[in-house]
Amino acid sequence: MKFQNIALKILVTILISNSCKKPQQSVFNSDLHNMMIRIAEIEIDSNHTQEYRTILKEESEASIRLEPGVICIYPMYQKNNPTQIRLLEIYSSGEAYKAHLKTPHFQKYKTTTLNMVKSLQLVDMTSIDPTTMSQIFCKIQP
């Protein structure tokens, strides 16, 4: 029993220490200064808040899972005003963003939510310290 506990502790330590190692095909091996970073500011019709969130959650999950050039699509809403949605979007490049716009999951999101969106503003951003990004995302454990 004591041996099993020690073996389990060693296994957990190995898994945790390797969980943040970059994969061989990492976007962080590319030019970090060519990443496209954007904040989408969206206002949703209050009659469609929950429906919109459900569709957006599906789209963002599919984008991260299926598109190697999508580093982050992180949707959130204002705590005191749930119709105000914000997305942090990070793509490995402008080309990755253009490819994202053509995907079936993005097209489905765009067409099904069109009548729910009252306003949309896309704010392009520039990272002050892009090299820290891999460390930030590494800290998040499911």
pLDDT 10s digits, 121-139: 999 999 888 778 777 777 7
Domains, in order of start, for the chain: 31-127 (3.30.70.100)
pLDDT tens digit sequence for 42-66: 999 999 999 999 999 999 999 999 9
φ, ψ of residue 104 in degrees (nearest 5)? -60, -40
CA–CA separation, 19 and 141 (whole Å):
9
pLDDT tens digit sequence for 62-108: 999 999 999 999 999 999 999 999 999 999 999 999 999 999 999 99
